Amino acid sequence: MIVRRGLWKRGFRYRLNHKRLPGHPDLVLRKYRTCIFVNGCFWHGHHINLQFDDLRFTISDSGCCKIPKTNREFWVTKIRRNKERDKEELRRLAEMGWHCITVWECELKPAVREQTLDSLAFTLNHIFLQDHSKRQLYVTAEEEDEGVMMAAEEER
């Protein structure tokens, strides 16, 4: 919701949960050819490094989340799987020509929120300019209309 409102306020229009795209991105900005994922730090292992060497593994907890001491192996396995899946989904989206941006839960804390949203807006504009300098992007009037309609519905 924070990301949605923040982008809306900054003039960006989007679609939600694009079911047909790998990983079901939280927001899809077709005009920017960009998918945005808003990830919980724990479930997606933000800054957590899991290194597996045969049966031994080393874990470094991050500043924003820690793996519980109990059932540690269970959590490590689970988070490792999630991270691998995320990586695979981003790879597939990139292959399909989508840009992907991940926004982390800890980047949306009140103290840093506006800064995160500003830099997200900056990145989107940068992506748009880069795409347009590379090739002439063709967006049909129909697509534009549809985008506006969808966005208007979501705002209600």
- Residue 64 within binding range of Zn ion, rule CB under 5 A: yes
Torsion angles phi and psi, residue 15, rounded to 5: -115, 155
What is the spatial distance between Cα 88 and Cα 85, in angstroms, rounded to a whole number?
Answer: 5
Q: How far is the CB of 42 from Zn ion (least distance, A)?
A: 8
- Residue 104 within binding range of Zn ion, rule CB under 5 A: yes
Rounded to 10 deg, the angle between the 2-9 and 110-134 helix axes is 60
Q: How far is the CB of 43 from Zn ion (least distance, A)?
A: 11
83 vs 92, beta carbon nearer Zn ion: 83
Q: What single-letter amino acid sits at 130? A: Q
Which of 13, 30, 44, 46 is close enough to bind Zn ion by CB under 5 A?
46
Q: How far is the CB of 33 from Zn ion (least distance, A)?
A: 26
- Residue 41 within binding range of Zn ion, rule CB under 5 A: yes
Candidates 31-39, 85-93, 103-111, 113-121; binding stretch for Zn ion (CB under 5 A): 103-111
What is the contact surface with Zn ion in residues (CB under 5 A)?
A: 41, 46, 64, 104, 106
